[in-house]
Amino acid sequence: MAMTRSALTATAAHEALLSHHAEAKDWQMRDLFARDPDRFTRFSVEGGGLFLDYSKNRINESTMRLLTALAREVGLEKRRDAMFAGEKINSTEHRAVLHTALRAPAMATIEVDGQNVMPEVHRVLEQMRGFSDRVRSGQWQGYSGKAITDVVNIGIGGSDLGPEMVCRALRPFTHPRLTMHFVSNVDGHDLDAVLSKVNPETTLFIVASKTFTTIETMMNARSARDWFVSRRGEQDLPKHFVAVSTNAKAVQDFGIDTQNMFPFWDWVGGRYSVWSAIGLPVAVAVGFDRFTEFLAGAHGMDEHFRTAPIESNMPAILGLLGVWYRNYFGTSSVSIAPYHQDLSAFAAYLQQLEMESNGKRVSRDGDLLDVATCPVIWGDVGTNGQHAYFQLMHQGTDVIPVDFIAALKPNHGLAAHHPVLLANCFAQAKAFMRGKTADEVRSEMAQQGVPADEIDALVPHRTFPGNRPSNMILMESLTPATLGALIALYEHKTFTQGVVWGVNSFDQWGVELGKVLAKSIEASITGPQPGVHDPSTNGLIARARAALGS
């Protein structure tokens, strides 16, 4: 396979950025702030109900001009417009990429193959409205006439991470009678833990699989079905199982009434699907009106991304800053630090969104790339991370850019907590930027009366290099609308970076190989003969067969 110049390295802007980086790599953000008292105003932007402060980055106005020039040279605006227009930009699967259509208003016209998709999108939304209203009101009842109390979503990947993250994030808005559960892992411990807590009389299962053939999802769904049937019988399956799928025959054969089958489309990628019928658990949990607010928040960010010039375009700026660190400073990971407990699943959600989208080594044309692409995405909620891995980020050998996320107002009444939380969030961003010099350490310890010889011994341990970049994303409060905007922000950031790197952000062939191999290995574990594999796999299979009595 031939290596080719990537979309990035083929540009004139890339050469200019290389020269610029030779100077910028030695900048100290402390000095940048000292020289420019308006830096916060200059390097901040609002859009879609969110505020981004990106002043704590190793940038100046020249940096941003060059990054903006790069975006234009690789055709970001043209690719963006093609996506919104329904062109088939997912070239390896010959599909449009139209998750944005799922949150567009009903009067919009968005076409795929000459057909306006909006009437069908809103027909499914109305189907979701009717169903979620019945479950929440108690009109939808289980076999014994009792209202539903537990909803179990069975899916995997985008059919699990999206709705679970959103339901957790919108916890204060959920119906008090309903408890949401999410099962994705083929490991039986996952399903067993949920089934041990629920009552078949009052439990509703949502089986989410477009084809109704996804191995992990269908194994869990069949086991849940067996659990239910063993306690009640097949006749009441339609009262306790619904499907998010397009395979009507398989859904019907499973025992689900196809009137309770919620479809979505091949132009909706799994990791972009929470806005579709995959979001049915969200609509049930928070109510359809709030689900509509969630869609509207995302649409607001869509409009910002679609219309704002790159210089003031929040997703584009976030994406270009990521390119600056990944491809010029050589950073290999990005930490996500939401200072909001209800966003505890957000970093995991972004792992799939960004790494499955841009974790590619070939261009859209199939050539090996000559640049690094997606960094590793990881993180946890503040303040927990401060007492775990922030040590490495402050004083370790790697520079790791951080995205801080916070709400200015809480969704609880514990008044004393939130100022402390925000103070910690802002303080960490400041500490990453400023660090602490050896002279500052000496002065501080001397004022505390520490002996000189002890100061000399401790200075290296208590010095912080600082100059660690971060972004600060703020919202007024975490609501369905601001959450929708936040997710859409990162979707479009991911799109921006995919365009710069020249990859197809909307396929995921890398997840298939292991699935294919697993089928033959499963047969070797459970079948009469162990089969022939490499020596390591053969040895592992032998141990598994012995343990399981195969």
State the catalytic residues: 356, 387, 515
**488 closest CA partner among 363, 303, 361, 338:** 303
Q: Is 101 helix (H, G, I), strand (E, B) or coil?
A: helix
SS3 content of the chain, % helix, strand, coil (to 5): 55, 10, 35
**271 closest CA partner among 112, 154, 117, 161:** 161
**48 closest CA partner among 427, 526, 493:** 493
**CA distance linking residue 153 with residue 146, whole number of Å:** 20
**322 closest CA partner among 482, 469, 486:** 469
DSSP letters for 467-498: ---EEEEEESS--HHHHHHHHHHHHHHHHHHH
Taken as a whole, the chain contains a residue count of 550
CA distances from 384 to 59, 391, 424 (A): 29, 12, 11
Return the structure tokens found at 127: 């189907």
Find out whether 371 and 6 touch, Cβ atoms under 8 Å.
yes
Strands (E), 197-254: 203-208, 241-244
**CA distance linking residue 227 with residue 532, whole number of Å:** 35
Find out whether 408 and 477 touch, Cβ atoms under 8 Å.
yes
Q: 87-92: long-range contacts at Cβ-Cβ below 8 A with a sequence spacing of 24 or more?
A: 89/504, 89/506, 90/269, 90/504, 90/506, 90/507, 91/364, 91/504, 92/504, 92/507, 92/509
